Amino acid sequence: MTVVSIILGLIIGSFLNVVIYRLYHGGSILVSRSICPACRRHLTPWELVPVLSFVFLRGRCRTCHKKISWQYPVVELTCALTFGLLALNYQSPVSNVQFWIQLVFASFLIVIAMFDLKHYLILDKVVWPGIILAAISGIWGGHFVPSLLAGAGLALFFLLQYLLSQGRWIGLGDVKLGLFLGLVFGWPLTLTCIALAYFSGAAVGVLLIGLKRKQLSSQLPFGAFLGFSGIIVLIWGPAITGWYAKLIGL
């Protein structure tokens, strides 16, 4: 089932690339055919094979020879790896509703993280459907109230940062993403997710400053760190939380 999940992840990842591109540039997500962004030529089916097409084309359009964005193989491989690792957490993933719910949440997080990484923006049309689905999942699973409290607490924490910094530290999109993450993870996994996001964000920030790619006053797409940390918590959250609890003697 892990191999099947990886293949499914590649296919879904290819679809998520379409979602990410068309959310920014416009166009129907389900109807319009895929095109080269540079020469506008419609792509043939063999040019749409996840990862392999990018490799065989050597990262360039076969007509205009413009470079194909790194986003495409990265999203496809990230989705495939995420789906495969999530499948390993279940003895019978196909028959487990929670597995499929996690795949949906992982897909939302990949879109949110990659879109914010590229455009420094978290779209309402992505995060609000995620919030609604997470709330429905909480009601169905019987953990809506504690998850809502976790989400509201995290959203309030981010909102205070937004108000104190007048939007310099964090954006309103991050506030809504905080609500989504809290609804998905509840307590204490929400705390684990936030800790990972701040730690990874700080580490990348220091590295970029050291490489002179960023300055101390430069902005980083925090939503991307939240999204990728959320994916890690989906896969290994309980293990990470348990390890840290033992480390500090809880």
Tell me the per-residue pLDDT of 46-64, one tens digit each, with 9 for 90 and over.
878 889 998 888 888 888 8
pLDDT of residue 15: 93
Q: Is 208 helix (H, G, I), strand (E, B) or coil?
A: helix
Tens digits of per-residue pLDDT, 107-147?
Answer: 999 999 999 999 999 999 999 999 999 999 999 988 999 99
Preceding omega of 45 cis (within 30 degrees of 0):
no
Beta bridge partners of 60: 67
Domain boundaries, the chain: 1-92, 96-250
- Judged against a pLDDT cut of 90, whether residue 30 lies above it is answered with no
User: Is-contact 146 186, C-beta < 8 A?
Assistant: yes
DSSP symbols for 23-55: HHH-S-SSSSPPB-TTT-PBPPGGGGSTTHHHH
Tens digits of per-residue pLDDT, 184-243?
Answer: 999 899 999 999 999 999 999 889 888 877 776 677 889 999 999 999 999 998 999 888
* Per-residue confidence band for 45, with pLDDT thresholds at 50, 70 and 90: confident
Tens digits of per-residue pLDDT, 58-105?
Answer: 888 888 888 888 899 999 999 999 999 999 998 888 888 999 999 999
pTM: 0.91
What is the CB neighbour count within 10 angstroms for residue 126? 22
* Per-residue confidence band for 250, with pLDDT thresholds at 50, 70 and 90: low
